[in-house]
Chain A
Amino acid sequence: MRTSTIWYGIMRIGALSAALAIAFALNLRPASAVPSFGIQTSQPCSACHVGSYGPRLKTAGRDFKLYGYASSDNKDHGLPFNANARASFTHTDADQAGGASDGFDVNDNFAFDGLTLSFAGKIVDQVGAVARLSYNGIKGVWQWGGVDIRYAKDATWFGHDVVFGITVNNGPTRTDLWESALSGAPTASSGLSRRPKAAPIAGSLSGLVAGAGIYAMWNDLIYLEFSAYDGFNRDTLNALGVDPLNGRDSFDGLIPYGRIAVQKEFDEGHHFIELGAYALRANVFPRDIDTAGTNEFLDVDVDAMYQWIADPSLSTSDTFTARVAYLHEQEKLDASRALFGTNAVDNLSTWRADLSYSVDATITATAHYFQTTGDNDVVRWGTPGGKIDTTGWIGQLDYVPWGKPDSPLDWLNVRLTLQYMAYDEFNGRSDNASDKNTLLVGFTIVGTTNQ
């Protein structure tokens, strides 16, 4: 290895450490577009992302992540830092009493949603990372967001290729290649719209924990991952600027996370399917009280994805993606029952499904269905009858003019979003659920320093 290569690697590790140090000192939320990856690989955004913009991945994007963000065109492009700025207009069907958030009107708000700074790229051969630091424009705070540092290597096992890797990250499902978590909104959301009370713990741990794991993909067919996470204590979270789970909860012991998936490409890349499942268990001290035992949360998810690409040789080809995920959470609330009188056991289930069609990797239409159902628990939720059931739809249209092979600037991309979120039921109530319906017009711009 040449001396200059070693120094270059050390310089990148130093830059990543600095970014992480700043991130730990502050606190953040995910942003998806990382054009530094495009510069590193000489690829347009459309090569890896559906609709030329993150987070939805195509085969090349999934492989890039699997191989540890370290694939490159073997050229030196400089340090891979990105900046992503987001602004929006939000309208809800009914005014939000007291304002949509501190400093905002009861309705029809323009907002600077935030700025995300990220390091995203290769560090040394077979090692790469994504580390994000965000300014939340709604809350007016800096937050640390998605961190995923990976080592990956391929070999041959039982006559077939196997890719195996190690990951250090700050959230279960962050490592996923198929977006199994399926968050409530497809690719855009506003901090000014109302959110339902209940959500599974698997989707709530990002930034509250840190852990390490191992993964392997055998024969481009079977994927296995196992990770273990530990929760930060309240002082650390305060230092990071992160709100603890449910405002005050803390974790007891390690949080194991396991993932299995089977994937297959057909017809020379025209068709792709994935079937998978994951499980996670977390023990929680409610309100950080450790005198009555813990609550135990067990999440089990099953999910599937189908993707069709009209012409796999064209990164701008039309793409259809269908995804569905079901998650069941069993909540043994021994501590909460003893301390506050909640139910002894609650069950929570979520369905998520979406269909999207991307035309010329420029205009992408998405229809998303979400449903949350669970046991009534008056003491725990504080809603009428203790109900938490929530059902709704999201329709979204994204326009991304750049990020394609013939785009004028390969280091810059923008996205315009028009989204409408409609609730049929909100926290168990149907009569006024539509009051929370939200129209969002969003704009994001992202650029990178590496050239």
Chain B
Amino acid sequence: MTHATMFEPRNVAFRRATALVAVIATAFSVLTASAGLMENEVDQKGLRFSKASAAIAVGGTMHFHNGDDVIHNIMTIDADDEPEDQGLQKPGQTISTKFDKTGTYQVRCAIHPKMKMTVKVGE
């Protein structure tokens, strides 16, 4: 029996344990996603949102953090194209917006019209 062979059973057990942890972690993230996050964060930096889309549960809160040195704005627009102005953000400021209804919302900066992302609010 070589040295390597002697340690093979322990190596296999380690791999199995790692795989199990990965499966559990994946299952947890899938379950969490399907249930919807109660909180989610997005950065605004370089005149763009850090995510093109984000998911959140009904009643959950999105945190938009202004990482630029200029003022931004948050506008949420629902499926009926109704905008809601969440106000201006000074540099470094975070705007937290609660989403109480299911649906897909567009989030835009009224000052920088190219800045846009979607927020999917699910059950």
Contact = CB atoms under 8 A, between A and B. Distances in A.
B111 A313 contact: no
B112 interface: yes
Interface string B86-121: 001001000000000000000000111110100000
A154 B113 contact: yes
Given A73-B73, A313-B69, A405-B70, A41 B111 contact: yes
Contacts of A74: 73, 75, 85, 110
A71 to B, nearest CB: 5
A47 B110 CA distance: 15
B113 A42 contact: no
Given A42-B88, A59-B47, A269-B46, A315 B70 contact: yes
Nearest to B110: A74
Tell me if B's interface is mostly helix, strand, loop or mixed: loop
A231 B107 CA distance: 44
Contact of B113 (A43, A67, A314): A67
Contacts, number: 58
A73 B88 contact: yes
B42 interface: no
Interface of A: 41-44, 47, 59-60, 63, 67, 71-74, 154, 161, 220, 268-269, 312-316, 405
The 10 closest A-B pairs by CB, nearest first: A312-B46, A269-B46, A42-B71, A313-B45, A67-B113, A41-B111, A47-B70, A313-B68, A313-B46, A314-B69
Given A74-B110, A269-B47, 11 more contacts: A42-B88, A60-B112, A72-B111, A73-B71, A73-B110, A74-B73, A154-B113, A269-B48, A313-B68, A314-B69, A405-B70
30 contacts: A41-B111, A43-B71, A43-B111, A59-B47, A60-B112, A63-B112, A63-B113, A71-B110, A71-B112, A71-B113, A73-B71, A73-B110, A73-B111, A74-B75, A74-B110, A161-B116, A220-B114, A268-B48, A312-B46, A312-B47, A313-B45, A313-B46, A313-B67, A313-B69, A314-B68, A314-B69, A315-B68, A315-B70, A316-B69, A405-B69
